Amino acid sequence: MTNKKMDVPETLPLLRDRIDAIDNEIQQLINERARCAQKVAEVKLADQGDEEVVFYRPEREAQVLRRVMERNLGPLGNEEMARIFRQVMSSCLALEKPMRIAFLGPEGTYTQQAAIKHFGKSIVSAPMAAIDEVFREVESGSANYGVVPVENSTEGVVNHTLDSFRDSKLKICGEVEERIHHHLLVAPSINPDEVTHIYSHQQSLAQCRAWLDRYWPHAERVAVNSNAEAAKMVSESARNGRSVAAIAGEIACELYGLTKVSSNIEDRPDNTTRFLIIGHQDVPESGQDKTSLLISAKNEAGALYSLLEPFKRLGVSMTRLETRPSLMSKWGYIFYIDFEGHYQSEISQVLIKELQACASEVKVLGSYPIAVL
């Protein structure tokens, strides 16, 4: 092979020289970008007034990532390129101010995986034992943002998360979707044929039900708080010679030094979980946004119809509708509705006014950019 322009043979040393020169340039440019981000932080601090400075700007990050994908010509794929920029921005933000992110722990959960996908790796991890603790950690200001699971494509909604919004002042600042792959894991010293118990989160056990029925009908299934906790227990039990296995993901497998007996054992290959980013901030429009509402319906005939009708009439696209008992009155209901658009847009304002007229309460849980990655 030859380099046509210069007619020099494209040998390995020459190609590597070229890569070295390009790396040098990329590195200088990344640092130039980082210096710009430091200046942005100075401007934000100078403009702060009485308000607390908001360093993390989800709408801007979404716009940057969308642009990266739009202008990308390859050979790297759009998502691959966006993931690189995701990490560059994560490093720049950490230089402005390191973000402490609370998530449903322990270390190694799918929620941590989602937190890293959304914020990049340059965050300070704060694993919490339960969803309401994630809310409390962010409410108290101990963490800047929180990440909680909200729905799974196989198992449906995570009621704990939805219920936590009833009494919380926190806003939804973002969403992230994660393809969930479950693996059957044992400690390296354990013979998989002798496994008597399989530990995992109840939703993960449910997501692998058919597979477990088929291949492990005699192993007892034990539900624990999280998959990562299951992985941790399995690594600890192995030291006592107990033949137990866990169902968990990649991060937990690595973190607890386990071995995969079987990979991707979920019953549905498109098994996806959606997570929400919670914080104190009202996120401005990014151009492609979603809004989440909590609506307490009046306990009367046609209540649901009158809530849904304005969406159709105004041409607003509803992406989700969940129902939960209201807890205030015996047969009263709360609806969680997601729709496309930002709550500050003209059409959303008309819609929200109409909903307010036919509901006892309409709470805007937040408007946020539709997940880019």
Ligand X SMILES: O=C(O)C(=O)C[C@]1(C(=O)O)C=C[C@@H](O)C=C1
* 37 touches ligand X (CB under 6 A): yes
Under rule CB under 6 A, residue 89 binds ligand X? yes
Give the interface segment with ligand X, choosing from 87-95, 171-179, 210-218, 323-331 (CB under 6 A): 87-95
Binding mask 332-361 for ligand X (x = CB under 6 A): ------------------------------
Residue 56 sits in the site that holds ligand X (CB under 6 A):
yes
Q: Given the complex with ligand X, which of 90 and 237 has the nearer CB atom?
A: 90
Q: Does residue 95 touch ligand X according to CB under 6 A?
A: no
> Among 61, 151, 338, 354, which residue sits at the site for ligand X (rule: CB under 6 A)?
61
Contact between 86 and ligand X per CB under 6 A: no
Q: Smallest distance from the beta carbon of 187 to ligand X, in angstroms?
A: 40
151 binds ligand X (CB under 6 A): no
Q: How far is the CB of 26 from ligand X (least distance, A)?
A: 16
- Out of 82, 96, 175, 365, the residue judged to bind ligand X by CB under 6 A: 96
Please identify which residue in the block is written with the tokens 């979707």. Answer: 177
Residue 222 interacts with ligand X (CB under 6 A): yes or no: no
Among 62, 65, 68, 93, binds ligand X (CB under 6 A): 93
Closest by CA to 252, choosing from 225, 278, 274, 212, is: 225
**14/3 Cα distance (integer angstroms):** 10
Q: Give the tokens for residue 186.
A: 């044992």
CA gap 284, 161 in Å, rounded? 24
Give, in order, the Cα–Cα distances in Å from 243 to each of 187, 208, 248, 353.
Answer: 9, 20, 16, 59
Residue 40 CB, nearest approach to ligand X (Å)? 4
Residue pair 112/127 in contact by the 8 Å Cβ criterion: yes
Residue whose CB is less far from ligand X, 64 or 314: 64
Helices (H), the chain: 12-46, 58-71, 78-96, 110-119, 131-139, 159-164, 202-207, 209-215, 227-239, 250-255, 303-314, 346-358
64 is a contact residue toward ligand X (CB under 6 A): yes
Closest CA to 226 of 295, 313, 317, 160: 160
For residues 133-150, one letter each, b for 16 or more C-beta atoms within 10 angstroms of the residue's C-beta and e for the rest, the string is: bbbbbbeeeebbbbbbbb
Minimum CB distance to ligand X smaller for 144 or for 161 = 144
What is the rounded (10 degree) CA torsion for 246, 272, 178, 63? Answer: -170
CA 215 – CA 197 distance, rounded (Å): 13
Residue type at position 235: S
- How many angstroms separate the most distant Cα atoms in the chain? 82
Q: Which is nearer to ligand X, 61 or 229 (CB)?
A: 61
User: Which residue is nearest to ligand X, using beta carbons?
Assistant: 92
Give the interface segment with ligand X, choosing from 7-15, 90-98, 120-128, 254-262 (CB under 6 A).
90-98
Under rule CB under 6 A, residue 40 binds ligand X: yes
Q: How far apart are CA 75 and CA 295, in angstroms?
A: 47
Q: Which stretch binds ligand X (CB under 6 A): 53-61, 254-262, 277-285, 301-309?
A: 53-61
Nearest to 149 by CA among 267, 271, 235, 324: 271
CB of 155 to ligand X, least distance (A): 32
**Site for ligand X contains 92 (CB under 6 A):** yes
The nearer residue to ligand X, 119 or 339, going by C-beta atoms, is 119
Which residues contact ligand X (rule: CB under 6 A)? Answer: 37, 40, 56-57, 60-61, 64, 89, 92-93, 96
